[in-house]
Structure 1
């Protein structure tokens, strides 16, 4: 199917730019696709494109417009794959998914004004989850800055609280320094987003005299100090009930193998954060699962009872700790992290080890194992057995009664059918079900908006993950609320024929908000009704994407087989019970020891009796 140039971007005059065809698809006959003339002088925009290639960038995600038009002109014919998304937020999330899945720097591009402001949520997500991004935004010419020019926006100031660093280029001569520093900062230490705001006159300024771009080396990661290693060893060696607490910093430090070696050698029961899932395979006998608000009972109980908590690349997030003052009350804490600001930030560390996690774990593995095996061996074996027995006793069950689809069972089955898949997840109940029931063996296969909790993340992140490895099996798990926030990216899936598989769990409600209103707001359901959802199967098919529907548990296996067998992109719409909740649950501002299951709801002080459940909200009346 040909790509037709229809309409133009905000601020761009018709026919001002060129349309690049997606890979493998012929251009429209009326579109100029001739390679740029070699005789054209190199300007700032063309220098930047060459610099991106020199940095090793192969893919960028964006949407053109007036102030960034010279850059898009320079892209024409360049050896870079540009992915045209259908909303700038999709560009930021796609670059985010690309970076999370690959470990490389993701790149996204937008024009000035609304184009740049639409990137902000994706930039914030990258900052809070430590994802390396370089964000390039067009800006009005330097001579117009400060005059309230058309589509002028102070993107530099607006994004300052949510980036590692911001650059505003004022001359073409600034570009070599800025680009080198941007990529170095994005990938150095604790990764994060870096902004390059690029005025239009800088893009068109002569750049023939600028040197070829040279990639800046990444700063060396500091070695852990010997004194802190000795302190950590002294504490760990005294443990009778140790627990390892692994977080997202493990994968950022490329320390997954080292962490697994440490756990195997020390035989510590292990808990993981949302972003740490996969650092230890889900099936590992020492893996007690995720801790925190929707963590496993085995994980939370072990942390509450341990005497030494060995924290590796985690930050004591409130969703993991529950009521912080009552978190791991009996434990002395060993905290290992690259970022010195995290050590002691929320919980005092009895032994803090700042530095390269790989070196830290390598230095401690054998000494810790030797000391632990030599001392308190019987007590630790009893502790480990108790933790494992509790994990077995409280393991999730997948024998839900009735004919309706049970979301955890469906996800567990899909995990077994697609064990190597990269899963990009949206935010809500389904996000927690994925964390609880999918069996991850690699943190880079679990893409989720952790700290920011941004709905609309899943589909564009899946696009980015698929673009970084066309051979990968990529699955997007979304909910009916999240999915509509970036549903337009179905057009991107179809345009580039990406074989992403979408599982859309539809409970016709904002499920997590509804659950909290049920449990903690006396069932006063406010603005959570989505019973007027559109026909999602029809929407997918309108975009040219294969789609099917399932609503009976007996049909789930056949539906999943059909979904995975589809050659291109496909969507499975799954109808689930509106009243389904995520269990277990730690109520807000409670200790992780106070976990609730469905049977405990009646004991909640704010819960109403079942008979007081109000009827579902009626959808807003729609005009005929």
Structure 2
């Protein structure tokens, strides 16, 4: 049958099983929006308050569901407003397809109104991108975009379509998407054998889990592997929930704000088994001193990550679920009772601490865990509150902690929270924010209220840019250069003006009742928690230091 380009876009989305699109209309994309209007009973469209919010919502939807997130934007500023969201998804390997429209082919390159080379702009921050100038190539391009976005190491793909293509007609035939196979072609017998031999020789193994284990849905295989290796487990921000955070072998996060048990344990171990982690600088600290006593095994789907930041002794390239399945079949039961007892002693000796006498971020997060029983999806912005959410809320399932790890995008969490809730409507979804981050994209509260998406936004308001101020306190002799936010903005009135229910908490005793009420309301809620501007995230590793040099407030006082 013969269809317009706009009709083909919608039919291809239906082919791919897309049920939700986040976006913002404009001149060049009007034809597509007109067609979307006719299919509103099949594809839900969420009109965000800003295109950046649409990109973050598509990202949060993808991370929560495991499906490809989709966002729309018009040309020029509409498409450039997606850039931060696309870069965020790229750094954290999130499957997303961004569909933008551009000016007609005969107007390209003429500085036409709202013309921009969005394909050129996003080339370094997409897994792949396309500009479609020929109607006959449109359907296959969209299909390729979805395949690329979700195969191997996932990532965002941009499809830019000129306006004349959205109006032109060509023949269309429905195609059933091919099943994406897990990547196994680079897994070799030699690599598997070497990994098993190294594990069997190890006396003090440590397992280090990253976001790749979440993406590959390797939760069950990872649990079996940990049991067989009989080793302690640490993780990255992106790896949270891949291994049960309530398990006795779990030692907490690794790195700059990792636990002492994890940082000291990894420094002491003789074998570090790294699963789906890319050795970010925030994890390794001084790379020359990282895991200095250990041989390293790295398991990753992307060969480009092998030996990129840390030199390994053994690597296995392939889908993590499949690699772990092969290792579990071949590996005999190991026993490291004394090593585990030593790590347990470190956990007992160096627990996470905070001031329990006053209202703090950690107290709110522990109370939130208690009230929800851990059955919630937590999204975050970036900063101190993000670290506290990683430290003090326990994650026992994958896709329940959604945060900007690689790019560190302030303003990410609220859009992601909306996307996660739309994708997982039966889950309690809560965004943890600081006051600085909330200011970035707080207009998305209006999106939540427009559609009555019952998210909960918790703002830790310390009236400063908390993490930046923490660095200024510790490393810049308390020169607080432009980090004070102590102005007259009233977040409660602001939230209420956008149609949300709002609370302000100033003392510990109010937390539990407000959280319970907010969850029961089933409507958008904003909770402002007033905390001290000098509260800090502990432990900490100074930039450039070895992770074993991790210190706490007590260490500074000593």
Normalised by the size of structure 2, how large is the TM-score? 0.97
Deviation, structure 1 residue 75: 0.6
Residue 456 (structure 1) aligned to one of 411, 418, 422 = 411
- 2:13 alignment counterpart: 52
| 1:591 pairs with 2:546 | yes
Deviation, structure 1 residue 210: 2.4
Residue pair 1:426, 1:477 contacting (<8 A) in 2 also: yes
- 1:497 alignment counterpart: 452
- 1:581 alignment counterpart: 536
Tell me which moved more, 469-478 or 291-300: 469-478
Residue pair 2:253, 2:391 contacting (<8 A) in 1 also: yes
| CA–CA distance in structure 2, aligned partners of residues 258 and 510 of structure 1 | 40
| 1:424 pairs with 2:387 | no
Residue pair 1:505, 1:573 contacting (<8 A) in 2 also: yes
- 2:315 alignment counterpart: 352
- 1:442 alignment counterpart: 397
Residue pair 1:184, 1:217 contacting (<8 A) in 2 also: no
Normalised by the size of structure 1, how large is the TM-score? 0.87
Deviation, structure 1 residue 41: 7.4
| CA–CA distance in structure 2, aligned partners of residues 171 and 464 of structure 1 | 32
Deviation, structure 1 residue 355: 1.4
Deviation, structure 1 residue 188: 0.4
Deviation, structure 1 residue 358: 1.8
5+ unaligned residues in a row in structure 2: which ranges? Answer: none
- 2:356 alignment counterpart: 400
Tell me which moved more, 450-459 or 218-227: 218-227
Residue pair 1:337, 1:357 contacting (<8 A) in 2 also: yes
Q: 1:397 to 1:521 in 2, by over 3 A?
A: closer
Deviation, structure 1 residue 392: 2.0
| CA–CA distance in structure 1, aligned partners of residues 2 and 226 of structure 2 | 58
| CA–CA distance in structure 2, aligned partners of residues 509 and 601 of structure 1 | 22
| CA–CA distance in structure 2, aligned partners of residues 220 and 544 of structure 1 | 45
Aligned positions of 1:455-494 closer than 5 A: 455-494=410-449
Q: Describe the superposition over 1:478-503 as per-residue Cα deviations: whole angstroms up to 9, x where unpaired.
A: 11000111111111100110110111
| 1:238 pairs with 2:201 | yes
Residue pair 2:302, 2:317 contacting (<8 A) in 1 also: yes
| CA–CA distance in structure 2, aligned partners of residues 561 and 219 of structure 1 | 43
Tell me which moved more, 72-81 or 104-113: 72-81
Q: Describe the superposition over 1:536-590 as per-residue Cα deviations: whole angstroms up to 9, x where unpaired.
A: 1111111111111111122222222222222311111100000101000000000
| CA–CA distance in structure 2, aligned partners of residues 492 and 530 of structure 1 | 25
| 1:140 pairs with 2:103 | yes
| CA–CA distance in structure 1, aligned partners of residues 328 and 272 of structure 2 | 15
Deviation, structure 1 residue 407: 1.3
- 1:23 alignment counterpart: none
Residue 385 (structure 1) aligned to one of 341, 357, 379 = 341
Q: Partner of 2:21: helix, strand, or coil?
A: strand
- 1:249 alignment counterpart: 212
Q: Partner of 1:466: helix, strand, or coil?
A: helix
- 2:28 alignment counterpart: 67
Q: Describe the superposition over 1:411-439 as per-residue Cα deviations: whole angstroms up to 9, x where unpaired.
A: 01101211110111000100000000011
| CA–CA distance in structure 2, aligned partners of residues 396 and 342 of structure 1 | 31
| 1:297 pairs with 2:253 | no
Q: 1:151 to 1:336 in 2, by over 3 A?
A: same
Residue 229 (structure 1) aligned to one of 192, 195, 201 = 192
Aligned positions of 1:77-476 closer than 5 A: 77-78=38-39, 79-207=42-170, 209-223=171-185, 224-365=187-328, 367-370=330-333, 372-373=334-335, 380-397=336-353, 400-401=356-357, 404-418=358-372, 419-476=374-431
Q: Describe the superposition over 1:350-375 as per-residue Cα deviations: whole angstroms up to 9, x where unpaired.
A: 111111222221222254343x34xx
| CA–CA distance in structure 2, aligned partners of residues 543 and 358 of structure 1 | 44
Q: Which has the larger radius of gyration?
A: 1
- The alignment yields a C-alpha RMSD, in angstroms, of 1.4
Residue pair 1:134, 1:195 contacting (<8 A) in 2 also: yes
| CA–CA distance in structure 2, aligned partners of residues 263 and 574 of structure 1 | 38
5+ unaligned residues in a row in structure 1: which ranges? Answer: 1-39, 374-379, 604-624
Residue pair 1:94, 1:462 contacting (<8 A) in 2 also: yes
Residue pair 1:311, 1:336 contacting (<8 A) in 2 also: yes
Deviation, structure 1 residue 390: 1.1
Deviation, structure 1 residue 602: 5.4
Q: Partner of 2:240: helix, strand, or coil?
A: coil
Residue pair 2:151, 2:180 contacting (<8 A) in 1 also: yes
Residue pair 1:176, 1:213 contacting (<8 A) in 2 also: no
| 1:550 pairs with 2:474 | no
Residue pair 1:519, 1:601 contacting (<8 A) in 2 also: no
Q: Partner of 2:481: helix, strand, or coil?
A: coil
| CA–CA distance in structure 1, aligned partners of residues 220 and 104 of structure 2 | 49
Residue pair 1:327, 1:591 contacting (<8 A) in 2 also: yes
Q: Describe the superposition over 1:245-298 as per-residue Cα deviations: whole angstroms up to 9, x where unpaired.
A: 111000111111101110022211111111111111111010001000000110
Q: Partner of 1:417: helix, strand, or coil?
A: helix
Q: Partner of 1:347: helix, strand, or coil?
A: coil
- 2:37 alignment counterpart: 76
| CA–CA distance in structure 1, aligned partners of residues 235 and 75 of structure 2 | 40
Task: Give the number of equivalent residue pairs.
Answer: 554
Residue pair 1:251, 1:443 contacting (<8 A) in 2 also: yes
